[in-house]
Amino acid sequence: MARVIRVLLVDDDALVRAGLRLMLASASDIDVVGEAGDGDEVEALVDRHRPDLVLMDIRMPGVDGLEATRLLRARPDAPEIVMLTTFTTDGYVLRALRAGAAGFLLKHTRPERIIDAVRQAAAGEPVMSSEALGQLIGAVTSRPEPTAASGTPSAAEAARSLGLLGPREREVAVAVSHGRTNAEIAAALYMSVPTVKSHISHILAKLDLNNRVQIALLVHRAGPA
């Protein structure tokens, strides 16, 4: 029997939640287990429903998606979180990814893409398009060198972090930064998919990162080897 992905919807717009629920209901392997209109409701609903994934609005009037994401990702066995936003250039997106979100979707994304993205995120795969990832990387690399207080590693710090990885882990990290899926990395590097997953788990643990999007940002911050 196929696994059913349990999803929690968090958005202050009831019409957006209704639209998401309707489109996700067309997928037999996705079950919307709850809804919240503000970030302050999320932790209690996660405790109650144990979702695999949260679709989270960034801007909400009370506790916004950034703070809710930070709080959820600090918990053991935290669900995956995909942020919902209106613009790929939204400055909140980078902060959301650093808080531990697995990626983001535009609210006007095609229904079939949202369904595929839920499946990908639940499986630990990236959920942003290459165009969106390119905009994010451009935003990171075009900014002035960060200060220690900014919470963003400098190019030198990022390079030192990557130096902690073994050669194959480094190859996997670079492939992740190009937006490749586990299957694509496995084919390119002549590995099995379980081996790729194992390398990614080791990279996350060694570098104290939450997800593969943060791996990509770190690689691009470090710059060419």
What distance in Å separates the CA atoms of residue 192 and residue 178, rounded to the nearest whole number?
A: 19
Render pLDDT for 83-103 as a digit per residue (tens, 0 to 9).
887 765 556 667 777 788 887
pTM score, two decimals?
A: 0.70
* Length of the chain as a residue count: 225
Render pLDDT for 33-78 as a digit per residue (tens, 0 to 9).
999 999 999 999 999 999 999 999 988 888 988 899 999 988 888 8
Amino acid code (one letter) for 202: H
* Phi, psi angles (nearest 5°) of residue 80: -70, 150
Contact 18, 37 (CB under 8 A): no
CA max distance for the chain? 51
